[in-house]
Amino acid sequence: MSVLNLSKWNIAIGDGQPLFCIAGLNVLEDRDLAFETARHLKAVMEKLELPFVFKASFDKANRSSIKSYRGPGLEKGLAILAEVKEKFDLPIATDIHDETQAEAVAEVADLVQIPAFLCRQTDLVVAAARATHKAGGLLHVKKGQFLAPWDCRNIVSKIKEAAGADLTILCERGSSFGYNNLVVDMLAFAEMKKLGVPVTIDATHAVQLPGADPRTGGASTGGRRDGVPIIAKAAVAAGADGVFLEFHPEPDKALCDPLSCLPLAGAEELFASLKAIRAAAV
């Protein structure tokens, strides 16, 4: 049995626990949008009695084009996230891209996230693990699109050795399937849970079509928004302990991955379905 706790927030994730929900924006666009999204999602989660961590990235460091919007950056972005944390009394999740960011990010984020492309970067993983453990948080590591589920054992062991504690939540976000496509293997959840860690599904990024946005001729990533609820529901039924979902009040106007994020107005209906599936699956 594997259960981890965000003790400061009285939130647990793992076997036998309620569905763990990481939700918010793909990237911070401005303070008002962050507040609007956090306010709406908090109301939904309180109504459904689901544990909730608000997520938004301060920087999207792996955009397809150098001209793509990346976010407000470390200093301004963490300041906005700190405001959200204080105003709405919510734990925060955000990405880290460089080991020099570890201390600053861990001071604000209760759930520090390692992007999929960076999950094997030892210096980054070690720095994030040490800073996160010191701050009392957890580490959410996305499995690289190039990794087999069982190969995540090396990530888990690095973190435990670096931090001296179990901090790892693994996240499935699809595997490369030929060119410009991802698929989610539903057997992966059981395989990763054999490593003794909780596992989540990033259904938003699992529907990406890398480098295949028809609107930009390959200068950005495409997506299949209608597939997000399908993958999320299937993953929870297959044993995922939590879900990672990104929303926007007007998805088509989102400044990053608009074809993959969901309309904020539909959050309650989807999370209610996922809660029911979790209850039936455990």
User: Does residue 38 sit in helix, strand or coil?
Assistant: helix
Which residue among the candidates 26, 110, 142, 193 is catalytic per the annotation?
Answer: 26
Which residue among the candidates 110, 166, 241, 257 is catalytic per the annotation?
Answer: 257
Which residue among the candidates 55, 59, 60, 275 is catalytic per the annotation?
Answer: 60
92 has which bridge partners?
A: 54
Q: Which amino acid is at 66?
A: I
Is-catalytic flag, 160?
no
Contacts of residue 176, Cβ cutoff 8 Å, sequence gap at least 6: 145, 146, 182, 210
Number of helices and strands (H, E) in the chain?
9, 15
Alpha helices in the chain, H assignment, sequence order = 31-48, 74-88, 102-108, 122-135, 153-163, 188-193, 203-206, 227-237, 267-281
Contacts of residue 8, Cβ cutoff 8 Å, sequence gap at least 6: 91, 110, 136
Is-catalytic flag, 26?
yes
Is-catalytic flag, 62?
no
Give the residue numbers marked as catalytic.
Answer: 26, 60, 257
